[in-house]
Amino acid sequence: MQFNGVLANLKTYEAGKPIELVVREYGIEAKDVIKLASNENPRGCSPKVIEAVRAEAVHMNRYPDDSMYELKESLAKKYHVEDKNIIIGSGSDQVIEIAIHAKANANTKVLMAGITFAMYEIYALQTGAKVLRTPSAQHNLKEMLEIYKANKDISIIMLCIPNNPLGECLDAKDVYAFLDQIDKETLVVVDAAYLEYARFKDPVKNIDAQELITKYPNAIYTGTFSKAYGLGGMRCGYGIAQPEIIQTFLKLRAPFNITNLTLKAAIVALSDEAFMDASVKENFEQMSAYEAFAKELGFKVIESYTNFIVLEFDASKNSGAIAQKLMEKGIIVRNLGSYGMNAIRVTIGTPEQNARFFELFKTIYM
């Protein structure tokens, strides 16, 4: 059977290994497996969310409110925008998919950092667009601007702020200075999935969504409940942009694209910002232990503004082998070998999980 030709050489996104698979493959009890591969909130979600979802579960036979009025109202209040500025997706990656499919095609190009979220490229290639990357792995706006000026057919620029899977983060003023030089017909996607972490660590990193879309009507800000709010399993994200962009994107959104349980979870999560703030604070308290650990053992880390940290090794060690040995002992991390790096990405866990990681890592690394 013949399919769309652009799919022939398209790679499938590889998600982090689930706990259930490690249990089956290595005979480890589920309670002894620690997943530090998918940047989930180790504290879970707000207890208020769990209570609300349990109450909402009796209505699972009903379709959700497809207007998503209450969630949009809550987001509009948080970001000082209007309902018409907001689109809701099944995770922010669905909003990003819609954005790329709305703007990119076989005659255009999509520009991104050398190493960044894998789905940007996958979504772009689905449209037949060509992907351009900077020579630098991390975001380098000077390189991006040079590539942009040399290629007049770039339809989309992807900015991951902070960047997944590396963890670095641009300053807001530098982002704005860059956007000042971008044509208004070029869509700029600011993927802020981890921005709750970055703005806590350093306020100069914060991108204000309302300010962004007012100054730059060609930009869209995307956020998620999967990280700091602890709702990865509920799949809810959003985009904030000018109404003209949102109305176009809504033509590509499937009806009822998130569940009634997801809607309730997101609404209640927004009402308990204190839980999210406490999670972010604990994240960086624990991250300092990883930085000290790396210094003790003599390998590099990339300074992170997220809920994960990248550990880089020299040629005497192999990140794939390290990740595999950790998995065999019940700790799941992300090997970055597929990105051309001799490194692993580790989600910051609970104090107990992190202590276990340090203990086992030493037996493998030394």
The pLDDT of residue 179 is: 98
Residue located via tokens 């956007």: 179
Q: How confident is the model at residue 21 (pLDDT cuts 50, 70, 90)?
A: confident
* pLDDT, mean of residues 71-75: 98
The pLDDT of residue 315 is: 93
Q: How confident is the model at residue 18 (pLDDT cuts 50, 70, 90)?
A: confident
User: Virtual CA dihedral for 277, 282, 288, 290, nearest 10 degrees?
Assistant: -120
pLDDT(77) > 90: yes
Indicate the SS3 state at residue 66.
Answer: coil
Q: What is the rounded distance in angstroms from the CA atom of residue 32 to the CA atom of residue 338?
A: 27
User: What percent of the chain has pLDDT above 70?
Assistant: 99
Q: How confident is the model at residue 5 (pLDDT cuts 50, 70, 90)?
A: confident
Kindly report the length of the chain.
366
How many CB atoms neighbour CB 184 within 10 A?
A: 11
What pTM did the predictor assign? 0.95
The pLDDT of residue 1 is: 75
Half-sphere exposure of 139 (CA within 13 A, CB side): 24
Catalogue the E-assigned strands of 148-291.
Answer: 154-160, 187-191, 219-224, 237-240
> Which of the two residues, 333 and 23, has the higher pLDDT score?
333
Long-range contact set of residues 212-217: C-beta below 8 Å, sequence gap at least 24: 213/81, 213/85, 213/240, 213/241, 213/242, 215/176, 215/179, 216/176, 216/179, 216/182, 216/188, 217/184, 217/242, 217/244, 217/245
pLDDT(2) > 80: no
The pLDDT of residue 6 is: 77
Q: Which of 37, 19, 40 is nearest to 357 (CA)?
A: 37
pLDDT(290) > 80: yes
**Ordered DSSP codes for 92-105:** HHHHHHHHHHHH--
pLDDT(192) > 90: yes
How many CB atoms neighbour CB 341 within 10 A?
A: 19
> 320-336: b or e for each residue (b if 16 or more CB lie within 10 Å)?
eebbebbbebbbbbbbb
Residue located via tokens 């652009």: 6
- Domain spans of the chain, in order of start: 5-44+274-365, 47-272
- CATH tag, 5-44+274-365: 3.90.1150.10
3-state helix, strand, coil in the chain (%, to 5): 45, 15, 40
Q: How confident is the model at residue 365 (pLDDT cuts 50, 70, 90)?
A: confident
Q: What is the rounded distance in angstroms from the CA atom of residue 101 to the CA atom of residue 314?
A: 40
Tokens describing residue 288: 């300092």
DSSP state of 12: P
**Which top CATH class is 47-272?**
alpha beta
* Mean of pLDDT over the chain: 95
pLDDT(23) > 80: no
The pLDDT of residue 31 is: 84
Q: Which of 80, 130, 123 is nearest to 98 (CA)?
A: 123
User: Dihedral of CA 25/347/356/50: which sign?
Assistant: negative
13: left (phi over 0), alpha (psi -120 to 50) or beta: beta
How many CB atoms neighbour CB 227 within 10 A?
A: 28
The pLDDT of residue 8 is: 77
Model pLDDT for residues 102-139, shown as the tens digit of each residue: 999 999 999 999 999 999 999 999 999 999 999 999 99
Q: Which of 189, 133, 124 is nearest to 158 (CA)?
A: 189
The pLDDT of residue 287 is: 97
The pLDDT of residue 28 is: 84
Tokens describing residue 140: 């380098």
